[in-house]
């Protein structure tokens, strides 16, 4: 079964986290949410999320994709967590997917995964960061095994793109039709 890791940091954007978790699970993809530290995560708008496990426990497993929800200060916490950066680098080295939305592409940048890639983010997050990445204003950008998206308003498109990458266009179409989009 396809497995996706979604690290949850204090101050993450709940709309992005919950949308991605929900859409991937609707597609029959196994999603593991992992808190950077034990216990509930208070998201950026005060919603309390209860991760499935801790990041340390989750990282004992292999994943087909790692998805980073954005939000502030959650994205800063992801960017500054050496375990997250190492996991992203190992994922990329293994030829597997990494994905981030909103401000979280800053963690992909910190891991060196945006070099030479087209990517997007919440405006002002990665467009001025140093490096050879190419900022795009598109809602969702797929460049090889790196997927990025702009923010809460693009979370559904982002999640459906992830479904298509992991489970195919037919599965995406089925999930999308059930959402009455």
Q: Could you give the residue numbers annotated as active site?
A: 102
CA 164 remoteness from chain centre = 15
Nearest to 97 by CA among 60, 56, 72, 62: 62
Rounded Cα distance between 75 and 68, Å, is: 8
Rounded Cα distance between 168 and 65, Å, is: 14
Rounded Cα distance between 139 and 66, Å, is: 19
* Residue 134 burial (10 A CB sphere; 0-12, 13-18, 19+): middle
């Amino acid at each position: 079964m396809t497995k996706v890791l979604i690290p949850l940091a204090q101050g993450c954007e709940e709309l992005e986290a919950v949308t991605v978790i929900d859409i991937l699970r609707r597609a029959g993809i196994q999603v593991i949410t992992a808190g950077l530290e034990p216990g509930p995560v208070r998201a950026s708008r005060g919603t309390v999320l209860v991760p499935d496990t801790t990041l340390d426990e989750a990282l004992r497993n292999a994943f087909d994709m790692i998805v980073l929800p954005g939000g502030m200060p959650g994205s800063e916490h992801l960017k500054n967590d050496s375990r997250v950066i190492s996991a992203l680098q190992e994922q990329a080295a293994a030829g597997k997917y990494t994905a981030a939305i909103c401000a979280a592409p800053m963690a992909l940048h910190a891991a060196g995964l945006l070099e030479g890639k087209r990517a997007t983010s919440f405006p002002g997050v990665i467009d001025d960061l140093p490096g050879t990445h190419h900022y795009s204003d598109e809602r969702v950008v797929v460049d090889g095994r790196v997927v990025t998206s702009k923010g809460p308003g693009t979370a559904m498109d982002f999640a459906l793109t992830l479904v298509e990458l992991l489970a195919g266009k037919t599965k995406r179409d089925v999930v999308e039709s059930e959402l009455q989009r």
